[in-house]
Amino acid sequence: MGRRQEPTARQARLGRELRRLREAAGLKATEAAGLLGVNSVQMSHIESGISGVSEQRLRRLAANYACTDAELVDALVAMATDRSRGWWEEYRGVLPAAYLDLAELDHHATFRHDVAIIHVPGLFQTEDYARSLFGYMNPEFPEDEVALRVEHRMKRRVVIEGATPIPYETVIHEAALRIRVAGRAATQVQLHRILELSELEHITVQV
């Protein structure tokens, strides 16, 4: 498979898991490379997420690593063979990769737990709050840059507000509720939103 310019968080995670399994088996990278008929550089690329790995090769590695956790192997195969393009891909090359990674991880998550110290959790933020926050944190950003980040943040809310929301738990420090990021009216709307979301069965909020 071809080399990637910038692996996503999931691709890098896959590589780390393969390295962990190899090290647990007591094999060197050169030995693992020999199992696939590649050189040590190519093996390094696989374990860093720069290069992909096919299902056949992944299962061969798992077998030679004596990994008996079938559920783990199947999960790694799913990560390796996933070719779906989520909504976040439209921001590739426009927003920093970290934004796309976060949205992709949200999409594949089965639950999420956040701790917010200074600001309201991103998944809870209203448009006005997020716009004020981005403008405050990055005053040099032009309005169109801020608008892109706000738009992306609002779309991320699908993981807790979409058709199949995931369980979400968040602990919000009192400071995050008291620090005024936006105007008085926007702050009131933001606090009301937190209250409304806290009433949903799949969401748990602690202050």
Are both 99 and 183 inside the same structural domain? yes
In 3D space, the residue among 119, 109, 124 whose CA is nearest the CA of residue 197 turns out to be: 124
The reported pTM is 0.75
- Looking at 21, 49, 81, the residue that finishes a domain is 81
**Adjacency order of strands within the sheet including 168-172:** 112-116, 168-172, 203-206
**Angle made by CA atoms 157, 161, 163, in degrees to the nearest 5:** 125
128/70 same-domain check: no
Instruction: Judge if 26 and 59 occupy the same domain.
Output: yes
| Pair 91, 188 in one domain | yes
Report the number of distinct structural domains present in the chain.
2
Q: Is residue 23 in a domain? A: yes
Residues 60 and 113 in one domain: no
The values of phi and psi at residue 48, to 5°, are -105, 0
Together in a domain, 155 and 172:
yes
Q: Is residue 77 part of a domain?
A: yes
Query: Does residue 76 share a domain with residue 98?
Result: no
Q: Do residues 77 and 104 both lie within one domain?
A: no
Q: Over 38-105, what HEC string results?
A: CCHHHHHHHHHCCECCCHHHHHHHHHHCCCCCHHHHHHHHHHHHCCCCCHHHHHECCECHHHHHHHHH
Domain boundary among 81, 107, 134: 81
Whether residue 1 is contained in a domain is answered as no
Give the count of beta carbons closer than 10 Å to the beta carbon of residue 162: 10
Could you tell me which residues are beta bridge partners of residue 51? Answer: 3
What CATH number is attached to the domain comprising 30? 1.10.260.40
Please, is 130 exposed, middle or buried when counting C-beta atoms within 10 Å of its C-beta (0-12, 13-18, 19+)? buried
* DSSP character at residue 118: S
Any domain includes 2: no
Do 94 and 74 lie in one domain? The reply is: no
Q: How far apart are CA 124 and CA 197, in angstroms?
A: 8
Across the chain, which has 207 residues, the per-10-residue mean pLDDT values are: 70 91 94 91 91 92 93 91 86 91 90 95 96 84 91 96 95 93 92 96 96
Q: Which domain holds residue 15?
A: 9-81
CB neighbour burial string for 46-57, b if at least 16 within 10 angstroms, e if fewer? bbbbbbbbeeeb
